[in-house]
Amino acid sequence: MKARIAGMARGDDRLARRRSVNFAACVRSSAELGEIAILNLSASGCSFAPAHGLAEGDVFWLKLPDLEARICEARWTRESIVGCEFSQPLAEDLVNSLLAPGRKVIACEKRGSFGRGRRVPRA
């Protein structure tokens, strides 16, 4: 699956300051569902591992703790790490809530939490 989300800066030219974190989330691509560790986070995107077979340009669902699943695009991959952009940026208060200490691990659900039955858009 390929699609484009406009406006992501590359390298050190980031759209927003990223903050180092380490908490669990879930990712769902076209056929794969898996738990991941969020490594850094900003209002416009995040990086995580493992990559679960995602490649640059892939569009997928990302389920962050306490938030609805959101569509993202893999903007880069390095070894088993993916950097992604959210289709719609997070509000700053949501970013701050995700940065709260003691973030609990979430379990990936087979159905229900990913897009309420909607499919990931295909290009």
User: Where do the structural domains in the chain lie, given as residue ranges?
Assistant: 1-91
Asked whether the whole model's pTM tops 0.75, one would answer no
For residue 17, the model assigns a pLDDT of 65
The predicted-structure confidence for 78-112, as pLDDT tens digits, reads as follows: 989 999 999 999 998 998 888 877 665 555 655 44
- Reference 83, options 62, 99, 109; nearest CA is 62
For residue 78, the model assigns a pLDDT of 93
pLDDT in tens, the chain (123 residues): 444 444 434 444 555 566 677 888 999 987 678 999 999 999 999 999 998 889 999 999 999 988 899 999 999 999 899 999 999 999 989 988 888 776 655 556 554 455 544 444 444
- For residues 2 and 116, give the distance between their C-alpha atoms in angstroms, rounded to a whole number: 21
- Please give the CATH topology (third level) of the domain spanning 1-91: Thrombin, subunit H (2.40.10)
CB 23 within 8 A of CB 64: no
